[in-house]
A and B are shown apart, each in its own frame.
Chain A
């Protein structure tokens, strides 16, 4: 137990970094994911194609490969950012592809008749997306997006590989000194579990609140 009290400051710092990554990348990927979905369902072919490729690319390339690419290959191309922002950006673009897929499945729940009705009323494309399609699709996919956010929280641990000192990286270092892997890694696992639980519960709550009663 004294392992944790001795290192409380460092651990809280690391948990803070993990949470920061979850929140910033989470909000970022939600916004970006919705934009990608809008592009995917827009009537402009080039946008649709680009959004499709975007989603396919990020769903088919492992996150670890993307992180290594961003941290070690981009500097060779003259683009060097500090490690934490790099990791957050990579997590954002990666998870946004999954958000986009989730939201797209929500778009499919909006009846075509509603869009036709909107058009009949004279709504522009942007208006019908903003007022009819997006609000209803988002309400339909709260739970899947919650799952994407939980996956995002777990995925932040990969940033340890590229030098970001978040929870996983910190407990590694503490274990190196104290050599008590079972206790140390179980506790770290519990923290991740709590984060996942919090996201899951929040998603359930939001879903009940915004559910569309048909």
Chain B
């Protein structure tokens, strides 16, 4: 009665096949965002190389002995906390792991050129949860990670910049005619990305909205299209690229927040902060700031290169 009479091996193989099939199915369902914009094609790559070749390099006199930048230069690589899965911002090419494209990635490369004269970046992907800890314990030198400058965070770490200003916007299903912006979201179910500025910004703007959060952007888009929520609030640029790739989605209204992105540094490192702020001014003047945008975010929105935000203009920077 308790002996296993079934031909075990055959059944085990069958079990494995079923499991693989299920995995393949998962991969299909979560990977619908297939179209990853952000230019890994040849023309873009050479454009980026040109941008890096023409980028400013720091003067010898700026590396005061014992300073953070001097230590980084002696080490030979810049250790950067940046994502590997953020389309347009910092996306790793799965077939070529050395190729990380996007706005944050290009800026990190530009900074490494400024320090070493050539690009030399080592990426440590931070979770949004661990950025402060990584900076505090010195695991990374800088963080380029759509890191919104807030006063709370500025008590833990130091921000250079802001280097970019973005905002949150609302996306809905293409056939939705009732929601035309953040003002229509009272009492509605709103999908947001975990660990994005939307987590705090949406309740501030619409206290009665019910929030559902998903870990990644493709999941959130899928959830919106499947009707798990009435709207999806996310960074305007990211939504624009989603809408460009997927006709079932549309962006409504204008961005309703201003998110100033800063460069995270170790707490209280005023010298390094000044060094980076000077570099930001130089790449803004030199045009590399705009080129980095053109090669990344600029590929999905039809507008001119935006005006860079004034450095130090935000509380906490």
Contact = CB atoms under 8 A, between A and B. Distances in A.
Interface of A: 41, 43, 45, 48-49, 52-53, 56-57, 60-61, 65-66, 68-69, 71-73, 75-76, 80, 83, 107-108, 112, 115, 160-163, 165, 169, 172-173, 175-182, 185
A41 B4 CA distance: 8
B86 to A, nearest CB: 16
Interface in B205-259: 212-215, 219, 222-223, 226-228
Specify the main secondary structure of chain B where it touches its partner. helix
A69 B6 contact: no
Given A72-B219, A163-B212, A57 B22 contact: yes
A55 B109 CA distance: 49
Contact of A68 (B5, B29, B153, B191): B29
Interface string B136-160: 0000000000000010110111000
B10 to A, nearest CB: 11
Contacts of A175: 129
B7 to A, nearest CB: 10
B42 interface: no
A53 B18 contact: yes
A172 B195 contact: yes
A194 to B, nearest CB: 21
Contacts of B30: 68, 72
Contacts of A160: 194, 215
A53 B18 CA distance: 9
Across the A-B interface, the 3 shortest Cβ-Cβ residue pairs: A56-B15, A75-B226, A73-B29
B25 interface: yes
Interface of B: 1-2, 4-6, 11-12, 14-16, 18-19, 22-23, 25-26, 28-30, 128-130, 132-133, 150, 152-153, 155-157, 191, 194-195, 199-200, 212-215, 219, 222-223, 226-228
Given A68-B26, A179-B156, 9 more contacts: A52-B6, A72-B223, A72-B226, A83-B212, A160-B215, A161-B215, A172-B195, A176-B199, A177-B200
Given A53-B14, A60-B19, A179 B215 contact: no
By DSSP majority rule, is chain A's interface helix, strand, loop, or mixed? helix
B145 to A, nearest CB: 13
A69 B26 contact: yes
A179 B214 contact: no
Contacts of B14: 53
A57 B18 CA distance: 7
Contact of B222 (A60, A72, A172): A72
B16 A180 contact: no
B76 to A, nearest CB: 29
Contacts of A181: 129-130, 132-133
Nearest to A75: B226
18 contacts: A45-B6, A48-B5, A52-B15, A53-B18, A60-B15, A69-B25, A69-B26, A72-B226, A76-B29, A83-B228, A107-B2, A108-B2, A163-B191, A172-B129, A173-B194, A176-B128, A177-B200, A179-B156
